[in-house]
A and B are shown apart, each in its own frame.
Chain A
Amino acid sequence: MNSPNRTVERSIATFLFGFLAFSPPLLAIFGAEAFVLGLPLLYLYLFAAWGLIIAMIAWIADLGAEKPPDLEPARRAKRNKAD
């Protein structure tokens, strides 16, 4: 499930999300004169979106770091055979 292809697909999706999140039209929307929790909306939005992307990179990298999943059944099968 977490084959290298999956990692690539997820990375590209995250990349596109990031590029979209920081595109001028969205920035114009969040540039409105508004405060949330005492912070300017744009300031909050930019850091939140940024943090989300970083979390996604970490998540994708972490998934990719697991042992290749197809190894596990193979090992089990071997064990069963040995039994």
Chain B
Amino acid sequence: MLAGWSILLFSLAYLCLLFAIAYYGDKRADAGRSLIANPYIYTLSIAVYCTSWTFYGSVGRAASGGMDFLPIYLGPTLTFVLWGFLLRKIIHICKAHRITSIADFISSRYGKSALLGGLVTMIAVLGITPYIALQLKAVSISFNVLVNYPEVVMPPISSQVPVLRDTAFLVALLMATFAILFGTRHIDASEHHEGMVAAIAFESIVKLVAFLAIGIYVTFGLYDGFGDLFATAALTPRIGNLFTSSENSYGHWPTLILLSMAAIICLPRQFQVTVVENVNEDHIRKAAWLFPLYLLIINIFVLPIAIGGLLQFPDGGVDADTFVLTVPMAHRMEGLALFAFIGGLSAATGMVIVAAIALSTMICNDLVMPVLLRLNWRGLAERGDLSGLLLSIRRGSIVLVLLLGYAYFRFIGESAALVTIGLISFAAVAQFAPAMIGGMYWKGATRLGAILGLSLGFALWVYTLLLPSLAQSGWLPIGFIENGPFGIELLRPYALFGLSGLDNLSHAMFWSMIGNIGGYVLGSLMSRPGAIERIQAALFVDVPKRSGAFGSSSFWRGSATVADLRALLARFIGSHETDRVLNEYARGRGLNLGRLREADAALVSFVERLLAGAIGAASSRVMVASVAKGEVVGIEEVMKILDETSQVIEYSHQLEQKSRELELTTQELRAANDRLKELDRLKDDFISTVSHELRTPLTSIRSFSEILSDNPDLDPAERERFLTIVVKETERLTRLINEILDLAKMEAGRMDWQMIDIDPRSVIDDALAATGSLVASSSIVLKLEMDPWLPQVHADRDRLMQVIVNLISNAVKFCDHERGEVSILAGQLGGRLYIGVLDNGPGVPAGDRQIIFEKFQESRGPLVDKPRGTGLGLAISRQIVEYFGGRIWVEDAPDRGAAFCFTLPVSRTNAADRPALQSQEAL
């Protein structure tokens, strides 16, 4: 048995529970142990997005449009994808500037313009009115449906009932009372309502659990799960078409998604909970995915409930918007129906309370206060405690907002579906998006642009959505829609300028956004931003870069006294609170305010921002200006200073850059010069060395030739000896010249290389033959150890032989004089051809192992009385080996002496050759 009074009792009890939670939340906040300082409560408070629209309206929409209810939740998800640089930036800006509403945000961005703040507030109030009407309608209908339990009867149209007996009116008054209790108990400089947030979070849990309960009941209680439900539905073509027809059009989805993307940040209540009530910026990181997850979960059962309702009431006599309630009622589930009602009440109450508080703050700070201050601000400023006045204005605003909502419901919204009403609101607040988002990323956007854009967008919204809805309700002649005003077809509100083929909402969004964005961009481009605008633009756009500098972003010239500022603050936020914040400020900066008479610019700015929290940026500016002794603002002056400063900074920056470049160039030049000097020295050394090497044999040749010529009386043996020396030295000279030429050619890259695949075995044999006489003339033992199979290499045969000959003659020269021993090893090493020539001489000291491969650098080892070479053999060998892609080095031979070794890459044909050879052998 559900009598009217028992439902009312339940509802009141529930609302009292909410209030208790809010009260407790506020107490905890005052005690400094915040109840809401975690991302989960934060997420649940953002879920105030889900209102009666979600709870009742989505099901109604699904019953006629299938999945059409969904895009409104996909949009916020996509916005939250961008939390990292969109939402976080908004929160950051608002915290830095103590922004308390979206009107404050936009006004503040465009030079703290009171006009803009007022405009935004008006749009918001008018735009949200249908939305509040929607909530009232939902609560009143659900109440009136439930009260007839167990009968399922659609309630009468309220306009037939006197206002004072209309459930919706009573609901409106009740909610106004609660909003006043929740939101306007005191004026807080930071505009935080922790208790309210806690209550909203609780409501979000209730509505989620209630909706899931209905969904689970329908899906698993009435049917055998999703499969059974959908299969049953598919039997009825009208229902089945909702989710399987390929004829459904999705053309309006992008509009709905974009609209809801804008709404999730532009709706005053979403701005309130997401931005203003945010206590920790990092909470958004978790909420970014938890909130969309909440949306997903609450939407899973929308379609099943809609289908359940359609199957339950096939004749269409029951409004689909009430299925959440009527389906359990039809099955006599008294408790569940009541729970559903409480869930719906939760959804509606949450929205209304937050929206009313947010709107009342805007009305007070951005509409009423600026007007009052303008009319008689000196008189106002002279009054004592103003916080009472502020609270009264806000309370009055809340009542006004709810009455407006009721009026819309009663006179216009009665006939329309919940979702349709809601979308009108979405379209209105979406008008804020260009000015808001643009202002955060485009410094060039100006106040004029914002005003123009908002006005045009709003006007077109009124014309293409609001007026037609009035016409449909009979408040304007229906001909307005059908034939256009005064019969001008081109101006038909649903087909403006002949644009047809779009749904009404997309049509309205198209025109209003063209007007809005167009006006915004054109207005911005055609006007010059004022001084404060430029400062604010820079502060908003560069917020992450400058977050540390907010404290000093003042443009006041300090000539206010501390006492004046203190008095001013006390008027708005009370003297106790004033003392607290000022003392905190002084402590933070190590100041003693008691002794300080004149406030500096930083303190004036601080007070302005503090006051902005209570009365909005524009009003706060005027108030602070009033105590700043007419010295209002040397804005132009400050701007000039700023400009000059930035020019000087820019100039010195350029200078710095130039000097850095110069320094760099100097360094490069110095390095190049050093390199050139080094090259010059090397060249000089080389020429001097070559000269020395050439002159030495020449000296012997000339001396002995002259001796022979001057002394015809020499005995034949001596004559013979001298002649031999001349011949030997001539040969040495020739060899030397040849090698110098070779080396020069190789270094210049002008050597003719005859590169072919060579069998190294034959080259080694030839090299041995060439050095045979040299070896034979000494008492040296020559050993040869060759792998039976040596890989082919790709090389110049003569040059490769030259290398081996060089190494062998070197070894012969340096090996032990008594028992000389030279070994030649040939094999493979790491997939390369390896050839080593080992002697048993003194070896090469470790320090010389690199330089002996340089030109004219013979190791000056312990052997002084050594035979002289040209000093170029090893240098040439290295050039050759490296040209073949190999490496040459010297190491200690196993016993004693030096081992000159080199490796060469094997020729590419080898891989195929070897097995082939083996198989031939096998044959």
Contacts and interface: CB of A to CB of B under 8 A. Distances in A.
A61 B82 contact: no
Interface in B248-271: 248-251, 253-254, 257
B122 interface: no
A27 B253 contact: yes
A11 B303 CA distance: 30
B40 to A, nearest CB: 14
Contacts of B225: 38
Interface string B122-159: 00000000000000000000000000000000000000
A7 to B, nearest CB: 5
Contacts of A34: 244
A33 B245 contact: yes
A62 to B, nearest CB: 8
B230 A57 contact: no
Nearest to B294: A54
B32 interface: no
B286 A11 contact: no
Interface string B70-98: 11001001101111110000000000000
B244 A24 contact: no
Nearest to A35: B230
Contact of A31 (B85, B248, B299): B248
A27 B250 contact: yes
Contact of A33 (B83, B85, B244, B254): B244
Contacts of A51: 296
A31 B84 contact: no
B289 interface: yes
Given A42-B243, A43-B67, A61-B285, A54 B77 contact: yes
B820 interface: no
A77 interface: no
A53 B230 contact: no
Interface string B204-247: 00000000000000000000011110110010000000011110
A24 B253 CA distance: 7
Given A18-B78, A22-B74, A54-B77, A47 B300 contact: yes
Contacts of A1: none
A46 B296 CA distance: 10
A50 B254 CA distance: 15
Contact of B253 (A7, A12, A22): A22
**Interface size band for B:** 35 or more
A82 interface: no
B253 A43 contact: no
Nearest to A50: B296
B78 A15 contact: yes
Residue among A4, A55, A56, A58 with most chain B CB within 10 A: A58
B529 interface: no
Given A8-B84, A27-B253, A50 B74 contact: yes
A23 interface: yes
Contacts of A27: 250, 253
Given A31-B245, A61-B289, A18 B230 contact: no
A4 B83 CA distance: 12
B85 A11 contact: yes
Contact of A24 (B228, B230, B251, B303): B251
A38 B293 contact: no
B243 A54 contact: no
Contacts of B257: 19, 22
A64 B250 CA distance: 35
A82 B743 CA distance: 53
Given A28-B246, A42-B244, A54-B296, A61 B286 contact: yes
A80 B154 CA distance: 78
B289 A58 contact: yes
A28 B247 CA distance: 8
A15 B254 contact: no
A32 B244 contact: yes
A40 interface: yes
B292 interface: yes
Contacts of A64: 84, 285
Contacts of A37: 227
B259 to A, nearest CB: 13
A33 B246 contact: yes
A71 interface: no
A38 B227 contact: yes
B251 A57 contact: no
Residue among A7, A50, A55 with most chain B CB within 10 A: A50
A39 interface: yes
Contacts of B74: 18, 22, 50
Interface in B609-668: none
A35 B233 CA distance: 12
A43 B300 CA distance: 9
A74 interface: no
B187 interface: no
B288 interface: yes
A57 B292 contact: yes
B77 A18 contact: yes
A12 to B, nearest CB: 8
A21 to B, nearest CB: 9
Interface in B274-318: 285-286, 288-289, 292-293, 296, 299-300, 303
Nearest to B303: A43
B81 A40 contact: no
Residue among B67, B230, B231, B296 with most chain A CB within 10 A: B67
Contact of B289 (A12, A18, A57): A57
Contact of A50 (B77, B226, B231, B303): B77
B285 A38 contact: no
A58 B83 CA distance: 11
A39 B246 contact: no
Given A51-B296, A60-B84, A28 B250 contact: yes
Interface string A66-79: 00000000000000
Contacts of B293: 54
Nearest to B258: A19
Given A15-B78, A33-B246, A34-B244, A42 B230 contact: no
A31 B250 CA distance: 10
Contact of A61 (B77, B250, B288): B288
Given A11-B82, A35-B230, A53 B77 contact: yes
A53 B74 CA distance: 10
Given A8-B85, A53-B77, A46 B292 contact: no
Given A24-B253, A35-B230, A55-B289, 19 more contacts: A11-B83, A11-B85, A12-B82, A15-B78, A15-B81, A27-B253, A31-B245, A32-B244, A38-B231, A42-B243, A50-B74, A50-B296, A54-B293, A54-B296, A57-B80, A57-B292, A60-B84, A64-B285, A65-B285
Closest 5 CB pairs of A and B: A38-B227, A58-B289, A24-B250, A40-B243, A57-B289
Interface of B: 66-67, 70-71, 74, 77-78, 80-85, 225-228, 230-231, 234, 243-246, 248-251, 253-254, 257, 285-286, 288-289, 292-293, 296, 299-300, 303
20 contacts: A7-B84, A8-B85, A11-B85, A18-B78, A19-B78, A22-B253, A33-B244, A34-B244, A38-B226, A38-B231, A42-B67, A43-B67, A47-B299, A50-B77, A50-B296, A57-B289, A61-B285, A61-B289, A64-B285, A65-B285
